[in-house]
Amino acid sequence: MKGIYSRIARYMADYLNPMVVLAMDMCLSLLSSLLVFLLASYVSQHTSLFYHTSDFTLVWMISSFVGTSLGIVCFKSYRLIIRHSSIKDVGGVGLSCFVKVLVMAVAVSVFYKLKMGVAFELPFDFDTLKVGIGFCLLYDFLISLFLIICARVVMLFVYDVFKRRANAAADCKRVLVYGISDKSVSLMTRLQNSPHYRIVGFLAKGLQARD
């Protein structure tokens, strides 16, 4: 069992590789744009908040791809794993998603302005269209952010589970960290990645040690 858990832990470390995270972010971002598009297309059958053509479908998805790529490159969000719920890390992912919807907003605006110039007729008021597109972009941003953060949480959870089992199988020394200050938490963070020690809890005056 020791060898099996160790090999799995090493494999999991590879699957947290930034390039794997980048590919995951791209897929999830495009998936969210597709989901919003399909939902808006369905809703538009009963309301006038969304209207599109086959050309618009291409503009929507291509601008999503370009915006996602630009956001990832600008903020390097694929390097932000969000291990300890850092506001900075979450903010980086959020900014990346914001760049995506900003690019999409510009692309959609240009598309409809060009269409208007060639006598493109809408079955409803243009202001109504802008409201519908605005809601779609907002939902796209929220769903993208939610999926990307959830995926990171799941990846880290699975990795930590196998890492703890690998450490347990390797007869690591069980360690209690004294105190609950910032220094104690920092020590715990460093020892978590050690193959020789396993943190089993904190010990502080007036508190019982717990796993």
Per-residue confidence (pLDDT) for residue 123, from 0 to 100: 47
Count CA within 13 A, CB hemisphere, residue 112. Answer: 17
- CB < 8 Å & 24+ apart, contacts of 74-82: 74/99, 75/99, 77/25, 77/148, 78/18, 78/19, 78/21, 78/22, 78/25, 79/18, 79/21, 81/16, 81/21, 81/152, 81/155, 81/156, 82/149, 82/152, 82/153, 82/156
**For residues 108 and 63, is the Cβ–Cβ distance under 8 A?**
yes
> What does the angle CA 145 – CA 147 – CA 153 come to, to the nearest 5 degrees?
100
Tell me the per-residue pLDDT of 38-81, one tens digit each, with 9 for 90 and over. 888 887 765 554 556 678 888 999 999 999 999 988 888 777 66
Per-residue confidence (pLDDT) for residue 101, from 0 to 100: 94
Per-residue confidence (pLDDT) for residue 185, from 0 to 100: 73
- Confidence class for position 2, pLDDT limits 50, 70, 90: very low
Per-residue confidence (pLDDT) for residue 169, from 0 to 100: 60
**For residues 50 and 43, is the Cβ–Cβ distance under 8 A?**
yes
Q: How far is 104 from 33, CA to CA, in rounded Å?
A: 10
Per-residue confidence (pLDDT) for residue 176, from 0 to 100: 78
**For residues 9 and 166, is the Cβ–Cβ distance under 8 A?**
yes
Q: What is the mean pLDDT of residues 16-26?
A: 82
Tell me the per-residue pLDDT of 157-190, one tens digit each, with 9 for 90 and over. 877 777 776 666 666 777 777 777 777 777 777 7
Mean of the per-residue pLDDT values for the chain? 75
Backbone angles phi, psi at 197, to 5 degrees: -130, 150
Per-residue confidence (pLDDT) for residue 211, from 0 to 100: 46
Per-residue confidence (pLDDT) for residue 127, from 0 to 100: 62
pTM for this one? 0.67
* Residue 201 token pair: 């809890």
